[in-house]
């Protein structure tokens, strides 16, 4: 019974490297206000150089740098003030040799100038004459017209999720819509004769409300996907095949919580086998062993273990990177993490990845043990640590990297 | 001019401790599907214990543990099979002394049983008789009716953003809507005669498109707030007071990018002073010195430096925790981070916090220098490091904590 079940067990590392469907979502155009963490389908080239004009970065006087050479507190350079530049306007005067023009931070450098002296290093001792007490080099106190972005440069790269600064740079360049991958539609199917909707007020004996679908939907949202909660299917081969078929027709990824008992998992595996190719049935991870990965005519499918804790552990490891990849991003953005000292020994088996929930306090990581049937183990956890596949455990007292939940 | 400007400069640490407005957003009720990272306004108490019934966690046989004591491969216990439990149904038989009942993972433990023997440690050598080859202790292979959550226990705590597992636990308990703080409305006002909307196709001399508002809106979304982009206001005291007044009437937090020149910043400070109390004007941080913090009749206001890089640095340090606090969460969720080796020396001044953008590759953090007027410094950065206020710099080669952008 249990021997048959895991006939094609694989490691998590293998799954991450080899179970990489080529499917990508379609292209859509979104305004900047909706583009956070969306993934551009192509490099976006700037329509022009930025800032687009030589620009003062300090308040002061536009000068020819050569006119300030040798200036000091004791022996200032005296420059004739020939005018001023207004913010947001073209300069109306040029800087002649021996002259200067007053300029605010952000304004256009006038013709003739190649530097700006900070107002702190100047004085106007006589009206119309500015004394400069420090020399400046060409380029000081300013940025060149193409110093932020050169003409023809890439503003944002294909395949990298857009962050706040990229949105700012696109706005600065006048790019107000971006071509991005559509959010991957992730169908979430729950199975099990004992599972009822969360809205069920009174449970009959042996019934449990569907916890996994709500939690998975949150992880899908977090990875930039669009969860489509498809409901609960009874442990019946025909009903299961129907539900999977409907989901596969519209989804970019299908996730099915495959029930908790061996019988239920067998039904799910049989239904999946009828619709696609099973890549693995059994994953060398604890918790999460009864995981099934399949390819159904190009649509990836994940059969998750029945208990919510295991299901969430596996979806974080395997599902989250898959959702990002479907959206055109090969490497998922980083998760928060921190270093902590493991408070006691954690055992593992070589060849198996162990995911251990931990509570973090005061620099130490306390492993939370308990049956993986308990959701409260997860709600008490601040994050998890991983015991890698080759290791047989981690010694208490050693420093570990805790992946933090946010 | 510059002496007057920073008359009430404060440190970032002071600002984080002392600039803590008491305002909190109102309460609203949201379904679980919209509750990710929302902050509950009160502890949510479970309507009942979970799982609610003693539940098998393995496939096997429900037994009285005492009947298995001493069992071994060589000398099994023989138990009479009196029936089976169906998934999701009440058991119809009890376990008598010397008897057992077949049970799948997740089903209700029948009366009389206090443990479940895994099927792997049993055999049915004669029809109707199960041989058990390993002893089990009471409580093995099962969870108690209140082992996940006890009656009257707190499911999720007030003030802590809801994560995926909490949503799962709420669903399991039948709680399908949650009372949470409304998303803080963050008004974003841009100022500056040179600033034009991002949609402006052709720029006149000296004009720049508004990059800061788009980037700030993204950071507000990221911190659970609702950005309200209020547009661009010219450098005019009256226009500024009008715009601030309108924003203060509807927002939980007002953010104004205070322009790049000293003159522009003075206008902003004067307009803010007319509407509230300035808590500080000048923050000991680089970049970001010309920051203004004010309280306008209970609504906090942040005056940000004019250049986008400084504005984003300050909003991350000061604004993000403020948005979380307005939503009832005292400690913002963790940012991703990683350790890396600093590739070269970074200078700082004691008493000032330095925020240095870095590119991370292969375990090393390479500081990105360049005028803070350049947005491309930020788009090249993978994150930033902080040189704390007391330090005068960081030596190249030392390990640093990089806060990663996501």
Q: For A89, which of B161, B172, B205 is closest by C-beta distance?
A: B205
Q: Do B163 and A406 touch (CB under 8 A)?
A: yes
Closest Cα in chain B, distance from residue A71 (Å): 22
pLDDT band of residue B4 (cuts 50, 70, 90) is very low
- Given a contact cutoff of 8 angstroms between Cβ atoms, the answer to whether B322 and B220 are in contact is no
- Given a contact cutoff of 8 angstroms between Cβ atoms, the answer to whether A63 and A95 are in contact is yes
Q: Give every CB contact of residue A64 below 8 A, 6+ residues apart in sequence.
A: A95, A97, A112, A113, A114, A115
**Chain A residues lying within 8 Å of B260, measured CB to CB:** 104-106
Q: Do A57 and B194 touch (CB under 8 A)?
A: no
Q: Do A198 and B169 touch (CB under 8 A)?
A: no
Q: Are strands B364-367 and B337-342 parallel, antiparallel or unpaired?
A: parallel
- Pairwise CA distance, residues A85 & A101, whole Å: 7
pLDDT digits (tens, 9 = 90+) for B160-208: 999 999 999 999 999 999 999 999 999 999 998 899 999 999 999 999 9
pLDDT score, position B8: 74
Does residue B3 carry a pLDDT above 80?
A: no
Q: For A90, which of B156, B205, B339 is closest by C-beta distance?
A: B205
pLDDT score, position A306: 87
Average pLDDT over residues B121-137: 96
pLDDT score, position A5: 45
Nearest to B108, CA basis, from B139, B80, B134, B142:
B142
pLDDT band of residue A260 (cuts 50, 70, 90) is low
Closest Cα in chain A, distance from residue B116 (Å): 14
φ, ψ for residue A83 (rounded to 5)?
160, -165
Q: Do B335 and A336 touch (CB under 8 A)?
A: yes
**Chain A residues lying within 8 Å of B165, measured CB to CB:** 215, 308, 312, 375, 378-379, 381, 405
Structure tokens at A8: 């094609």
The more confidently predicted of residues A258 and A207 is A207
The more confidently predicted of residues B323 and A338 is B323
pLDDT band of residue B372 (cuts 50, 70, 90) is confident
Closest Cα in chain B, distance from residue A37 (Å): 8
The C-alpha R_g of chain B, in whole angstroms, comes to: 31
- Pairwise CA distance, residues B297 & B21, whole Å: 10
Q: For A106, which of B218, B306, B334 is closest by C-beta distance?
A: B306
Least confident of A158-172, A193-207, B35-49, B251-265: B251-265
Q: For A312, which of B36, B165, B374 is closest by C-beta distance?
A: B165
In order of their start, the domains of chain A are 2-26+182-326 (3.40.980.10), 28-50+154-181 (3.90.105.10), 55-143 (2.170.190.11), 337-404 (2.40.340.10)
Q: Do A164 and B1 touch (CB under 8 A)?
A: no
Number of Cβ within 10 Å of residue A173's Cβ equals 25
pLDDT score, position B167: 98
Q: Give every CB contact of residue B68 below 8 A, 6+ residues apart in sequence.
A: B77, B115, B117, B132, B134, B135, B136
Q: Do B339 and A336 touch (CB under 8 A)?
A: no
**Chain A residues lying within 8 Å of B307, measured CB to CB:** 57
pLDDT score, position A7: 57
**Chain B residues lying within 8 Å of A146, measured CB to CB:** none
A·B CB contacts under 8 A: 316
For A195, the closest chain B residue by CA position comes to B88
Q: Do B261 and A52 touch (CB under 8 A)?
A: no
Closest Cα in chain B, distance from residue A25 (Å): 21
Average pLDDT over residues A305-318: 94
**Chain A residues lying within 8 Å of B122, measured CB to CB:** none
Does residue B134 carry a pLDDT above 90?
A: yes
pLDDT score, position A229: 97
Structure tokens at B16: 């984080």
- Tell whether A168 is within 8 A of chain B (Cβ): yes
**Chain B residues lying within 8 Å of A206, measured CB to CB:** 53, 85-90, 107-108
pLDDT digits (tens, 9 = 90+) for A59-98: 999 999 999 999 999 999 999 999 999 999 999 999 999 9
Q: Do A172 and B308 touch (CB under 8 A)?
A: yes
Chain A from 257 to 286: CB within 8 A of any B CB: 259-264
Chain A from 69 to 108: CB within 8 A of any B CB: 85-91, 104-108
Q: For B169, which of A108, A170, A375 is closest by C-beta distance?
A: A375
pLDDT band of residue B7 (cuts 50, 70, 90) is low
**Chain A residues lying within 8 Å of B156, measured CB to CB:** 379
Closest Cα in chain B, distance from residue A255 (Å): 16
DSSP line for B283-323: BSEES--S-EEEEETTEEEEEE-SSHHHHHHHIIIIIHHHH
Q: Are strands A55-56 and A60-63 parallel, antiparallel or unpaired?
A: unpaired
For A336, the closest chain B residue by CA position comes to B336
Q: For A211, which of B172, B199, B201 is closest by C-beta distance?
A: B172
pLDDT band of residue A3 (cuts 50, 70, 90) is very low
Nearest to B281, CA basis, from B19, B21, B20, B24:
B19
pLDDT digits (tens, 9 = 90+) for A125-176: 899 999 999 999 999 999 999 999 999 999 999 999 999 999 999 999 999 9
Q: Do A337 and B335 touch (CB under 8 A)?
A: no
Q: For B169, which of A193, A335, A376 is closest by C-beta distance?
A: A376
pTM (2 decimals)?
0.94
- Tell whether B209 is within 8 A of chain A (Cβ): yes
pLDDT score, position A207: 96
pLDDT score, position A346: 95
Mean pLDDT of chain B: 94
Q: Do A171 and B215 touch (CB under 8 A)?
A: yes
Average pLDDT over residues B54-77: 96
Q: For B374, which of A147, A200, A371 is closest by C-beta distance?
A: A147
pLDDT score, position A266: 82
pLDDT band of residue B260 (cuts 50, 70, 90) is low
φ, ψ for residue A166 (rounded to 5)?
-65, -40
Nearest to B23, CA basis, from B296, B272, B320:
B296
Q: Do B208 and A87 touch (CB under 8 A)?
A: no
Give the bridge partners for A232, in sequence order: A190
Q: Do A334 and B404 touch (CB under 8 A)?
A: yes
Average pLDDT over residues B324-332: 95
Chain A from 304 to 363: CB within 8 A of any B CB: 306-308, 312, 333-339
Q: Do B264 and A216 touch (CB under 8 A)?
A: no
For A88, the closest chain B residue by CA position comes to B194
Q: Do B199 and A308 touch (CB under 8 A)?
A: no
- Tell whether A166 is within 8 A of chain B (Cβ): yes
For A222, the closest chain B residue by CA position comes to B36
Closest Cα in chain A, distance from residue B70 (Å): 25
φ, ψ for residue A239 (rounded to 5)?
-60, -40
Closest Cα in chain A, distance from residue B335 (Å): 5
Average pLDDT over residues B362-374: 89
Nearest to A195, CA basis, from A235, A254, A247:
A235
Closest Cα in chain B, distance from residue A142 (Å): 9
Q: For B218, which of A36, A105, A143 is closest by C-beta distance?
A: A36
Which ipTM did the prediction report? 0.94
Mean pLDDT of chain A: 94
- Tell whether A173 is within 8 A of chain B (Cβ): yes
- Pairwise CA distance, residues A305 & A227, whole Å: 19
Does residue A365 carry a pLDDT above 60?
A: yes
């Amino acid at each position: 019974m249990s021997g048959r079940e895991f006939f094609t067990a694989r490691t998590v590392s293998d799954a991450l490297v080899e179970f990489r469907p080529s499917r990508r979502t379609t292209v859509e155009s979104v305004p900047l206000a909706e583009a956070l963490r969306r993934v551009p389908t192509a490099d976006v080239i700037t329509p022009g150089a930025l800032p687009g004009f030589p620009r003062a970065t300090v308040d002061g006087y536009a000068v020819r740098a050569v006119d300030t050479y040798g200036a000091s507190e004791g022996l200032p350079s005296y420059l004739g003030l020939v005018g001023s530049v207004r913010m947001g306007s073209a300069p109306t005067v040029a800087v002649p040799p021996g002259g200067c023009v007053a300029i605010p931070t952000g304004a256009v450098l006038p013709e003739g100038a190649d530097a700006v002296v900070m107002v702190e290093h100047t004085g106007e001792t006589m009206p119309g004459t500015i004394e400069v007490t420090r020399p400046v080099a060409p380029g000081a106190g300013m940025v060149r017209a193409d110093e932020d972005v050169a003409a023809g440069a890439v503003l944002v790269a294909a395949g990298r999720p857009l962050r706040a600064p990229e949105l700012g740079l696109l706005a600065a360049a006048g790019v107000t819509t971006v071509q991005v991958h559509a959010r991957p539609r992730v169908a979430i199917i729950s199975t099990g004769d004992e599972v009822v909707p969360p809205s069920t007020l009174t449970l009959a004996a042996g019934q449990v409300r569907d916890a996994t679908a709500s939690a998975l939907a949150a992880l899908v949202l977090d990875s930039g996907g669009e969860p489509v909660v498809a409901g609960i299917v009874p442990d019946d081969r025909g009903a299961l095949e129907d539900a999977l078929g409907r989901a596969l027709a519209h989804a970019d990824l299908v996730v099915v919580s495959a029930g908790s008992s061996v019988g239920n998992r067998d039904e799910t595996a049989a239904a999946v086998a009828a619709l696609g190719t099973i890549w693995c049935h059994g994953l060398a991870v604890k918790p999460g062993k009864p995981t099934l990965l399949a390819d159904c005519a190009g649509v990836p499918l994940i059969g998750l273990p029945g208990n919510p804790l295991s299901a969430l552990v596996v979806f974080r490891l395997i599902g989250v990177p898959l959702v990002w990849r479907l959206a055109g991003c090969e490497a998922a953005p980083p998760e928060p993490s921190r270093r902590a000292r493991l408070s006691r020994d954690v055992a593992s088996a070589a060849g198996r990845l162990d995911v251990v929930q931990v509570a973090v306090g005061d620099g130490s990581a306390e492993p939370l043990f308990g049956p993986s049937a308990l959701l409260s183990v997860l709600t008490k956890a601040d994050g998890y640590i991983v015991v890698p596949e080759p290791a047989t455990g981690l010694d208490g007292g050693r420093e570990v990297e805790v992946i933090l939940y946010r």
